[in-house]
Amino acid sequence: MVVDNFAGGGGASEGIEQALGRPVDLAINHDVTAIAVHTANHPGSEHAVADVWDIDPEQAVHGMPVGLAWFSPDCRHHSKAKGGRPVSKSVRVLAWVMSRWAAKAKFRAGVLENVEEFLDWGPLVKGADGKCRPDPARKGQTFRGFVRALNRHGYQVDWRILRACDYGAPTIRKRLFLIARRDGLPIVWPKPTHGDPESLAVKRGLLKPWRQAAECIDWSVPCPSIFDRKKPLAAATLDRIASGVMRFVVQADDPFIAPVQPSTQDQSSKVAAFVAKHYTGVIGDDLRKPLPTITATDHNGLVTVSLTPAAQVSGKKPALVAAFLAPYYSTGSGETGRDLHKPLPTVTTTDRFQLVTVTIDGESYAITDIGTRMFQPHELAKAQGFPDRYQFAEIDGKPLAKRHQVRLIGNSVCPPLARAIVEANFTHERRFMATAERAAA
């Protein structure tokens, strides 16, 4: 049997199914919405809506031997994104479910996926506020005990930190993977299939180049102007957008140009674009790189910059853009964003402020508008490595709210990574099944 604990919307199950050529036998999750999505995409699996602690491994597998068990326990209370905030002991101990299955179901091979900070898993200590936080003096102590527990059950254990972009997913998502085996076969780590386009391995054809965030963009989705909004964007958001426009368009040697025209009537115009990251301290990135890590929080955005040949420019928008970007032409202004309901900053008579221009292939273009929107769930799912056929938007004929889609996608295992790990460690299984199928035929 193949069992997916903490199955969520099915990222690990999708990768496992691609690797083995058959569905997982049992998917477990306490979240009704997650199981509904999993069921829609993996109808051949048995599903259990339950807390993992309420599942008895021996009863769940009906006495059948378990070849592979996958575990992706909640990572939030291990992640550095938690900062110095209190953490939950009941969430941090979820990984012990793997040890329980090792003792009772004795799976031949098990895989655990979590954030890299899982290596620091240790006891908690109460602070002056009476709330629990990781004890820095005992960092990694619980993790080492967890590994020893698996060893006592007869497992050899190894772990590595892998990036999804190295295995064909267009996101840089980096996660810790721990593999435990008790069948005498070696633990095998998959070799990367993709790499940095500037690396020698890619240039020599040994690896494919990383897939780009641009592949995931649905250019048919409108990107509304920041200047036409009824409710202005937050000052910090405007600040990041302006900084990104300066970095990725105005000052870029080679800005990314979207593969669409803004109008079928104006073929001479272009649209530059970049990824916006809507949280403090991060501006964004070039769309020719893999998408930054997708999380359960909706913070990945797209910024589009409308470009019109400078000689054709007219109207008020270029002046709005110039005033919006003016502070970024000189450092030290101290300005951190602007309210679009207030009067614009002074627009000087200097050409560079009246008309913000970008040179592309020797031709001068003026920035005539700036738009932004959040990434849509189907774009995020593609970046995470889900196939286009995967269903998130509609379950059992009913639409699934965007927030639920984003949460399930952000919490998912990247299918290409799960596939690579399972293929590397179960190559012999695929060969055996292929031989059996040929014999039966």
Write out the catalytic residue numbers.
75
Query: Among 404, 42, 19, which Cα is nearest to 27's?
Result: 42
Amino acid at 385: G
320's tokens: 């709005």
* Interior angle at CA 97, CA 82 and CA 26, nearest 5: 110
Question: Using CA atoms, how far apart are residues 25 and 4, in angstroms rounded to an integer?
Answer: 8
Among residues 262, 157, 271, the alpha carbon closest in space to that of 214 is found at 271
Within its chain, how far is the Cα of 247 from the centroid?
A: 23
Please report, for residues 331, 336, 394, the alpha-carbon distance to residue 344 in angstroms, rounded to integers and kept in the order given: 19, 14, 44
Residue type, 93: V
Q: Which residues contact 352 (CB under 8 A, 6 or more apart)?
A: 329
Could you tell me if 158 and 187 are in contact, meaning their C-beta atoms sit under 8 angstroms apart? yes
3-state secondary structure (DSSP) of residue 420: helix
Pairing of strands 124-126, 132-134: antiparallel
Question: How far is Cα 201 from Cα 194, in angstroms, rounded to an integer?
Answer: 9
For residue 48, give the H/E element and its range.
strand 46-49
